[in-house]
Amino acid sequence: MNDSVAGNDRPEHSQGGTYTVEGQEFVRDQRYIPTRITRDAVDGFPVEPGRYRLVAARACPWANRSIIVRRLLGLEDVISLGTPGPTHDERSWTFDLDPDGRDPVLGIERLQEAYFARDPEYPRGITVPALVDTQDGAVVTNDFAQMTLDLSTEWAEFHRPGAPQLIPQDPTERAEMDAVMQEVYTEVNNGVYRCGFAGSQEAYDEAYARLFTALDRLEDQLSGRRFLMGERITEADVRLFTTLVRFDAVYHGHFKCNRNKLTEMPALWGYARDLFQTPGFGDTVDFGQIKEHYYRVHTDINPTGIVPAGPDLTGWTTAHGRESFGGDPWGGGTPPEPVSAR
């Protein structure tokens, strides 16, 4: 499962990640609940405003992408948001940020309760993000990759006016974006974890080389274009951003991804700041929760639980100069309204 897992059936436990060690290499468990919420309700779950609750911890990169997409598309009034705190125990993510430690809509203390409402013997990790049906309190799906694609396509009728087209309609461009997203996932999103949880020097060295080979390639590509697919934001940018925004704060030191910092890669640093300053991206990020999550939950890597004071994060709001590439981030649309309490 993703790195944001808690509880159950794990050969090894990290942070939350459920993974196996094959030749001392980190291998992510990618088994998810594949049910989808669609317009034709083929899986039994129809698109229905107000029915579903997105449970997504702000600390988690996989959950963060769902929060970003929900906000960019203007689905705040259509799909409610529940936010567990930044840490969890062996059993589950908990709603310790809410009054009385319970999600105010689902009425539960632990996300585990929603998984067990779906399957009382649910055998795998308790992951975020998860979409929960408020009618019975059961998880519908935790397939984070398909989830955001469906928010763009199946929920299109309920997008805000001016919402960006995060999924290209042209088949050729869509195929190109899918290939980019696959590389971003395997080499960068998951690459930092292969470094952090490598079980041997050899496995770490290989993971480290793969990660920075990919980052160097992206540095080169983004030296000549504003966004991954060209002149406008797509889902590919959302997926890369959630790793980049955590890079210096946690991955550089905590996961030993320390050839250089993001701030030392000019194109990637400018690109990341460009997105951070774009409504829907930086306003979903909580650096305090991110640091607390990684440094307190990963006791196998950081047994003292000490959360470092640095790095200095003020640079995220400095000028990036990426406007010189031209284009329109919104592809003819408009940015979302300021953040609401929803």
Distances (CA, A) of 93 to 49, 101, 168, 235: 25, 11, 34, 26
What whole-number distance in Å separates Cα of residue 281 and Cα of residue 83? 17
Task: Confirm whether residue 93 is marked as ligand binding.
Answer: yes
Angle at 148 between CA 145 and CA 152, to 5 degrees: 140
What whole-number distance in Å separates Cα of residue 138 and Cα of residue 117? 5
Taking phi over 0 as left and psi of -120 to 50 as alpha, with beta for the rest, 326 belongs to left
Cβ-based neighbours of 304, under 8 Å, separated by 6 or more: none
DSSP character string of 199-214: SSHHHHHHHHHHHHHH
Q: Which residues are catalytic?
A: 60, 193
Contact 284, 68 (CB under 8 A): yes
The secondary element (H helix, E strand) that includes residue 146 is helix 144-153
What whole-number distance in Å separates Cα of residue 164 and Cα of residue 129? 22
What whole-number distance in Å separates Cα of residue 188 and Cα of residue 186? 6
How would you classify the pairing of strands 126-127 and 80-82? unpaired
Place of tokens 């991955």: 251
What whole-number distance in Å separates Cα of residue 147 and Cα of residue 154? 10
Binding-site residues for glutathione, in ranges, read 93
Binding-site residues, in ranges, read 93
